[in-house]
Amino acid sequence: MTNKSGSRKELVINFILQLLNSFGEDISRDGLAETPIRVFRMYEELLSGYSQDPKTVFKTFKSNGYKDLVTLTNIGFHSLCEHHILPFFGKIHIGYIPNGKVLGLSKFVRLTEILSHRLQTQENLTNQIANALEENLNPRGLIVTIEAEHLCMSMRGVRKSDCITKTTIFRGLLKKNTKLVDQFYREINSQPSK
């Protein structure tokens, strides 16, 4: 009896062979000999978030009295659109106001990696990041903004490149305090000093 991973691998390889064959490709030619296994390995990597629990990244520390805005900008990500299984990619910006504890900075990147390595819509990804931070960090205020280009729009359908979709979620103090929101946007739009 084959294990789950082995049967998944076999299923994907057979599907890729059938797909190529159905579009008239000669699946016996040299250039395609290793394509099915490469595609399987690619999807294993791109969808690795399903095997990881976002809660595992929440290593927090005392804030030592820090109660002001913490902003992380330009967290790069790649994900797959659940509608066409084509990539969308861009930057994630997160701002939060600690409530007695802070999260290790690399953990924001790890959280993003786990959630973006699943089939997604940009709206769901924005919401999932905000929910995970709210549930596990309990900040006094939170904002999550994603800016992304979707290949399902730029390479098929309307075929419009350089079109950026932006999604934003506000929670707690950042839902009510326009000065903090303005500060967040100034920080994500400022160029880092060299």
Q: Which residues are catalytically annotated? A: 81-84, 122, 150, 152
Distance, CA of 192 to CA of 188 (rounded, Å): 10
Distance, CA of 137 to CA of 130 (rounded, Å): 10
Distance, CA of 79 to CA of 188 (rounded, Å): 21
Cα–Cα distances (Å) from 11 to 4, 40, 83, in that order, read 10, 9, 21
